[in-house]
Structure 1
Amino acid sequence: MSWLNVKHAMDLSPWIRIPLMWPEPGLEDVDEAQTPEAWARYFAEGLWADFASEKPKPGEVDLLSNILLMYAVRAPAAFPDFEVFLHLPHPRDIPLPAYVDLVEIEEGEDQRTALRELTHADASYAVEPPIVEDFDSPHLGTGLRVLRYYQDADSNEVHVGLRYAWRYEKGTEAADVLIILADPDAGRILRALDDVDEFARTIRISPDEEVGTWNSS
């Protein structure tokens, strides 16, 4: 068996991974992995420290800590069991969540058809034809990247969605890899596109025997 390997993305700036359990398994002795509050405070202070030439205004560290805490609690619920990363290039920016997971392949499902369905490449609800492009990964081969604009059912606002998908097949193993992002601000997605592409190219599938070393470099 194989598993979704996100360890390289964990060290990729400007991305922050949200643990899916507290304390995070295997990190029981790491203070910031114990609770979402500790995690949020650790990264809020660390992000502002990274911008040493730009001092935070009074209350900005607390504000970022509260924002990160909100995402740590709420973001994983949007796509349960998906790995969750936040794109946050500056501590005053609003985080942009990215979700990554493996998707089981239905028996007899054609690869191209499956990837188009996963990426909503033919979405009838899009307000204009989605932008569908082949996307190459050094680890997963050629997949799809789809950018689409759609009307949110709750707010009636036009949102932008960005999805990547690949088919992974090795021996008797097969699964689809899916990355999901969405935001009401098209500019936010477009400004992050180069970073998201870089992030997507770090995702890989690893043999199950390597799972115990996934936190190593």
Structure 2
Amino acid sequence: MVEPFPTELLGEGFRASRYLQQDDTSEVSAALRYAWRDEEVGVDVVLWTAINDTAQVIRAAPDIEELAHKVSVAVWELEPEDEASADVQS
């Protein structure tokens, strides 16, 4: 299941949940994913969790969603390597 997931920090994204039974076992796995595209910085952001304990994902879902609302992109301007090495030699 995929649905829109807007956040204040990253804008419109998507939340996807999936339940999957492996071919070789009766165990059911659960996955919960969030994804955004930050056009300003030019990056994709993905937050995901997957586990064989579906009840654990269901219990943790509110906390994971709270975390997803707090995810942001930070960009630091780093000095070029040649300038950094010149400072070390001084």
TM-score, normalisation: structure 2: 0.76
Show the counterpart of 1:208: 76
Structure 1 unaligned spans of 5+:
1-130, 211-217
Show the counterpart of 1:60: none
Show the counterpart of 1:162: 32
Question: Could you tell me how far apart the structure 2 residues matched to 1:164 and 1:156 are?
Answer: 27
Say if 2:4 is the partner of 1:134: yes
Show the counterpart of 1:151: 21
Say if 2:58 is the partner of 1:190: yes
Once the two structures are superposed, residues 168-211 of structure 1 have per-residue CA deviations (whole angstroms, 9 ceiling, x without a partner) of: 111xx31110111011121111111110001111110112139x
How many residues are matched? 78
Show the counterpart of 1:180: 48
Flag the structure with higher strand content.
2
Q: Which amino acid aligns with 1:208?
A: W
TM-score, normalisation: structure 1: 0.33
Q: Which amino acid aligns with 1:202?
A: K
Question: Could you tell me how far apart the structure 2 residues matched to 1:209 and 1:155 are?
Answer: 49
Question: Could you tell me how far apart the structure 2 residues matched to 1:202 and 1:209 are?
Answer: 22
Q: Which amino acid aligns with 1:145?
A: R
Question: Could you tell me how far apart the structure 1 residues matched to 2:50 and 2:25 are?
Answer: 14
Provide the identity percentage.
38
- Higher CA-based Rg: 2
Flag the structure with higher helix content.
1
Q: Which amino acid aligns with 2:38?
A: Y
